[in-house]
Structure 1
Amino acid sequence: MPPKLNASQDDLELFRSRLENIIDQRHPLVRLARLIDWRVFEERFGSLYAEAAGRPALPTRLMVALHLLKHMDGLSDEAICARYLDSPYVQAFCGETHFQHTLPLDRSSMTRWRKRIGPERMEALLAETLAAAERGGAVAEKHYKRVTIDTTVQPKAVTHPTDSKLLHSGIETLARMARKHGITLRQSYRRVARYARQEAARLHHGGKRREAEARVRKLRTWLGRLARDITRKIAGNAEAKATFAETLGLINRLGSVRNSVYGRRLNIRPPWPLRSDRRR
């Protein structure tokens, strides 16, 4: 059913003091409540309620006001509900005429209301907020021509490129490409490389550096064998050479860079002379 009228409008509230008589009319929330056109939300959300089915819904102004305060102050649903009971200005902003000692809704009602409204109709809150700012003189039309956004740097979920991960990724990539292009390998090393990578990570985390280095050496050897095997079998195929050129180039770069932890190299000679060779 459509939202019901506030219970504070009943005749039982006749002998209670009205909020407008006990609060400061110059308070920011009171002034903001006067600038917002609350009828816009009732017209926008009214079609979502059935006329004669179910229990009466909560007042639209109550739900909209709570969500506006929630995002203005960065509060959770529980925190904004607790603030409703503590502050008469929050209750006045929500459309109450008399101070309420009990919460007129459950916290889960806010979640259900958001699901009913949907993200598209929630944009009406932002549009009316901007319209209220224009009516209050806080924002002019020229301010919409350029928007300045203050962002906060967030760490990305990027794993650290350890040697075992890079070598295992190279083996997986070469084996997958060889199978896709019909190249028969002597051995793909995919199964043993997976276990070696896991063992290297476990041993390195446990402080067993020598044992972890042994697993990384195996991965480096297997990647070199796989790369040389593919290089021999695509020697006379120009199309296959063009397909594997970028991948083998990355493998060569991986082999030319000295490992900062273990001080080893892949047994794959890069196409350019090494620094040690130039010194000689």
Structure 2
Amino acid sequence: MEQEFEKLFSTQGRPCVAIRKVAGLLLLKEMFKESDESVVERWIENAYWQYFTGETFFQTEGPFDPSQFVHFRKRIGEKGLEYLLSQSVNLHREAKFEKEVQIDTTVQEKNITFPTDAKLAKKVIDNCIKIAKKEGVKQRQTYKRVSKQLLRDAYFGHHLRRKKKAVMARKKL
């Protein structure tokens, strides 16, 4: 793995975390279905994991910040992640023949936001407009632009200067 990923790193500047350490922890993370933070915590407790990632002496502090996983994933790209996945599959050859495979997608970006009242109200307004158009109901005003502005005003209501405006926008929505 070091030979595979070595060309992606520069010899100048601040030295990076050892490739063996990060790649080894990523493999352990996949094998034991851990999160970025928990794999680093378990690494501190487990001498075998430390030896697997290239340590010669028992360490009592974390090898690096869990955010380094994100930087490493970005650096190696999609092909590098496929290579790592193939290495983890090679460690468990019998896993190829299993009917069900579980993949951790906690670091994958998701199209999910917290459902606030203002967002839900805006969604209801937009859906009512669509239904009215579909059914051929003529409306005097659709409130499409007004609701868009009110939703923006409703954001960040916890800020002192925007609280009154946000409360009024949510009430009007």
Does 2:41 match 1:82? yes
Match of 2:138 in 1: 188
Residue correspondence of structure 1 range 1-280 to structure 2 within 5 A: 41-51=1-11, 53-134=12-93, 138=94, 143=97, 148-149=99-100, 169-175=130-136, 188-189=138-139, 191=141
Offset, 1:108: 2.1
Alpha-carbon spacing, 1:189–1:90, altered in 2? closer, same or farther (3 Å)? same
Separation (CA, whole Å) in 1 of partners of 2:60 and 2:7: 31
Partner letter of residue 44 of structure 1?
E
Match of 1:268 in 2: none
Offset, 1:166: 7.7
Offset, 1:86: 1.1
Separation (CA, whole Å) in 1 of partners of 2:79 and 2:46: 31
Relative to the length of structure 1, the TM-score reads 0.38
DSSP-derived class of the 1:191 partner = coil
Partner letter of residue 110 of structure 1?
F
Structure 2 contact 50–58 (Cα < 8 Å) conserved: yes
Relative to the length of structure 2, the TM-score reads 0.58
Provide, for residues 115-164 of structure 1, a one-character-per-residue CA deviation record: whole Å limited to 9, x for no partner: 11122211111111222334xxx467xx3xxx62368xxxxx9x9xxxx9
Separation (CA, whole Å) in 2 of partners of 1:193 and 1:56: 56
Structure 1, unpaired ranges of 5+: 1-40, 152-156, 176-186, 195-280
DSSP-derived class of the 1:101 partner = coil
Alpha-carbon spacing, 1:72–1:132, altered in 2? closer, same or farther (3 Å)? closer
Offset, 1:82: 1.2
Structure 2 contact 25–39 (Cα < 8 Å) conserved: yes
Structure 2, unpaired ranges of 5+: 103-111, 113-119, 145-173
- Superposed CA RMSD in Å reads 3.2
Structure number with larger C-alpha Rg:
1
Separation (CA, whole Å) in 2 of partners of 1:124 and 1:103: 25
Separation (CA, whole Å) in 1 of partners of 2:34 and 2:91: 22
Match of 1:182 in 2: none
Separation (CA, whole Å) in 2 of partners of 1:97 and 1:150: 34
Separation (CA, whole Å) in 2 of partners of 1:108 and 1:171: 48
Offset, 1:78: 1.8
Separation (CA, whole Å) in 2 of partners of 1:56 and 1:80: 22
Alpha-carbon spacing, 1:55–1:190, altered in 2? closer, same or farther (3 Å)? same
Structure 1 contact 171–190 (Cα < 8 Å) conserved: no
Structure 1 contact 45–117 (Cα < 8 Å) conserved: yes
Structure 1 contact 84–91 (Cα < 8 Å) conserved: yes
